Structure 1
Amino acid sequence: MSRVTSRRAALATGGAALAALAGCTKYGDESQQPEPPPSSAPASGTSKPAGGGGGSGGGGGGAPALTKTADIPVGGGKIFADKKVVVTQPEAGSFKAFSAICTHQGCTVSSVSGGTINCPCHGSKYRVADASVAGGPAPRPLAPQAIKVTGDSISLA
């Protein structure tokens, strides 16, 4: 009988361990990768649209356009999850970009509202102006990303 008891105990212990492991992944997507080290490329800082209006929006001969300047609300931003970047416009005509990967546990941020970039996993919030931590468990700001504003187009630099 002890052989049956030890088998049941082993199965119960294995099941509990599996349940604990599954619980660790419930907050994020299995495809989430840990945050890459900060880029050595300098951040764009404040970018102003250049040139006269009416451009073709091609992004200036380099990377294809990520979005149009009109698509980024003043005081807010837009997340491009496929590119793992969030673009903000803290003040009219000033565009900034940051990594969309939360510095807490690597989840992708999900919204920009109320002047903050928000992570759905554990509630971290980052300011749209500089991606500094506004609240939550995040240990550091979102990493800056370089962008290029040409006419009415924004592209990754």
Structure 2
Amino acid sequence: MERRDFLSTMGMTLAIACAGGIAACSKGGDSPEPDPNPNPNPNPNPGTRLTVNLNSQVQNVGDYLISGGVVLIRIAAGNVPASFSAVTSTCTHQGCTLSGYSGGKIECGSSCGHGSRFNADGSVSNGPATTALAKYTVEISGTTLTVK
């Protein structure tokens, strides 16, 4: 192979690799994609994202549930709306599904691997995310909690 052909081929290969890398990184940003299935629990009430039975779920302070596009956390005792935090389960950095709640922080899943963490109220604790998680309204009727 001639030196000129070799350099031409290498130049094209490098250009293609760089273009692929730029395209792969362009997905980021602070705008998550909408959850394609915001509520896997069928519910006749439109606007309801999640329904929970407080007799069997999130009973203790620190308990959490990730379902239907929502992270629901019990932050205090008592079955009143102020005892719960409900935020979107979609990370605002790369749109990954949040994976858990530990040490008072909501953690972004290992599928993104960027390490963003959020406080229970949805505010950013550790970046690279810069935008807070969307908050949802919690309503309680008897022992049924509804996230809207």
The aligned residue for residue 118 of structure 2 is 126
Higher relative contact order (CA 8 A, sep 6+): 1
Is 1:151 aligned to residue 136 of structure 2? no
Structure 1 residue 7 displacement after superposition: 3.7
Structure 1 residue 3 displacement after superposition: 5.0
**Are the counterparts in 2 of residues 76 and 115 from structure 1 also a CA contact under 8 Å?**
no
The aligned residue for residue 131 of structure 2 is 140
SS in 1 for 2:75: strand
The aligned residue for residue 96 of structure 2 is 107
Structure 1 residue 108 displacement after superposition: 1.8
The amino acid that maps onto 1:141 is: A
Please give the TM-score of this superposition, normalised by the length of structure 2.
0.64
Structure 1 residue 91 displacement after superposition: 0.1
The aligned residue for residue 16 of structure 2 is 14
The amino acid that maps onto 2:32 is: P
| Percent of pairs with identical residues | 34
The amino acid that maps onto 1:103 is: T
Equivalent position to 1:66, from 34, 51, 68: 51
The amino acid that maps onto 1:127 is: N
Is 1:77 aligned to residue 64 of structure 2? yes
User: What residue ranges of structure 2 are gaps of 5+ in the alignment?
Assistant: 35-41
The aligned residue for residue 42 of structure 1 is none
**Are the counterparts in 1 of residues 52 and 144 from structure 2 also a CA contact under 8 Å?**
yes
Structure 1 residue 4 displacement after superposition: 6.0
**Are the counterparts in 2 of residues 67 and 153 from structure 1 also a CA contact under 8 Å?**
yes
Aligned residues: 126
The aligned residue for residue 24 of structure 1 is 25
C-alpha change, 1:17 and 1:88, in structure 2 (3 Å) is: same
CA RMSD between the two structures: 3.3
User: What residue ranges of structure 1 are gaps of 5+ in the alignment?
Assistant: 28-32, 37-57
Please give the TM-score of this superposition, normalised by the length of structure 1.
0.61
